[in-house]
Amino acid sequence: MTYKEKIDTGRLPAHIAVIMDGNGRWAKRKGNQRIFGHKNGVNAVRETVEAAAETGIRYLTLYAFSTENWKRPQREVDALMSLLVSSLHDETPTLMKNNIRLMTIGHTGGLSDHVGRQLNMTIAKTAGNTGLKLILALNYSGRWEILRAIDLIKADMEAGKPQEALTEDIFAGYLQTRDIPDPELLIRTSGEFRISNFLLWQIAYTELYFTPVLWPDFKKEDFYQAIVDFQQRERRFGKTSEQLHQYEQSQNQ
């Protein structure tokens, strides 16, 4: 039985986030330059987006470029940016065909005009699509997003906007993900056990799934395997296992 067949389609996570890692190591193992790994990483992006759309996942967030990634050699940064532009350009018709809407989080104003133009084009073109929402985290970091939210709250206060006591819900309304449910599942490839400044507020109760597979090797079945693993877990949100089962029993009566 394949992992795809094992998925309980009635209990899918609405939002899956992915830290795509291992492109550099994959290329090195093949005796190639890191950029070769990124080029092949695009195939894994395609596989993952298709798998998410086919399964009926509503939100897929991919960590494509962090605020820290600017520290990489300029040649690699340039290659990542041109891969982003060419992939968006080439894949826009496929996004349209599959009713996928592209969105972004991160400081996209800090990207070059060239990248900004292509992003805006694909975002505008796909804005009416109602299927999978594909969210690219670009020039993103979780701490940056939290600081930005605090700045926005400060600005509202200075503008005299009536203030309620700050709750988690109100704070979340100042994040870039305000209209997006928190991810239930976060996948990280390449055997690293880190969060790397990704969605720090949003992953408070997220199930974490780590796989040794390097990103360019990540296939649909790897994505389905992560969903099956997620579905075998018990999400307690601070409650005890007994409390959860009592609740389930009362619902079934």
If the CB atoms of residues 20 and 185 are measured against ligand FPP, the closer one turns out to be 20
Dump the DSSP string for 18-43.
EE---HHHHHHHTT--HHHHHHHHHH
Least separation in angstroms between residue 217's CB and ligand FPP is 12
**In the bound complex, which residue of the shown chain has the CB atom lying closest to ligand FPP?**
24
> Which residues ranging from 200 to 239 are in contact with ligand FPP (CB under 6 A)?
215
The answer to the question of residue 87 lying near ligand FPP (CB under 6 A) is yes
Three-state DSSP class for residue 187: strand
Window contacting ligand FPP (CB under 6 A); options: 22-30, 119-127, 159-167, 173-181: 22-30
* Catalytic residue, candidates 32, 43, 69, 98: 69
7, 12, 13, 24: which one contacts ligand FPP (CB under 6 A)?
24
Pick the stretch among 5-13, 17-25, 104-112, 233-241 that binds ligand FPP (CB under 6 A): 17-25
CB 168: neighbour CB atoms within 10 A? 9
- Candidates 83, 121, 153, 228; binder of ligand FPP (CB under 6 A) is 83
* Residues 174-203 interacting with ligand FPP (rule: CB under 6 A): 190
Q: Is 217 a catalytic residue?
A: no
Please check whether residue 196 is in contact with residue 183, taking contact to mean a CB–CB distance below 8 angstroms: no
Contacting ligand FPP within 40-69 (CB under 6 A)? 41-42, 45, 62, 64, 69
Sheet of 15-19, strand order = 101-105, 133-140, 59-66, 15-19, 185-188, 207-210
Q: Choose the binding region for ligand FPP from 10-18, 76-84, 149-157, 231-239 (rule: CB under 6 A).
A: 76-84
> 10 Å Cβ neighbour count for 80?
20
What secondary structure letter does DSSP report for 11? G
- Listed as own residue / partner, the contacts of 209-214 with beta carbons closer than 8 Å and 24 or more positions apart are 209/185, 211/187, 213/22, 213/189, 214/21, 214/22, 214/23, 214/25, 214/26, 214/29, 214/37, 214/189, 214/190
Active site residue 8: no
Stretch that binds ligand FPP, among 37-45, 107-115, 223-231, 236-244 (CB under 6 A): 37-45
CB burial readout 115-126, b (16+ within 10 A) else e: beebbeebbebb
Sites of contact with ligand FPP (CB under 6 A): 20-25, 34, 38, 41-42, 45, 62, 64, 69, 80, 83-84, 87, 136, 190, 215
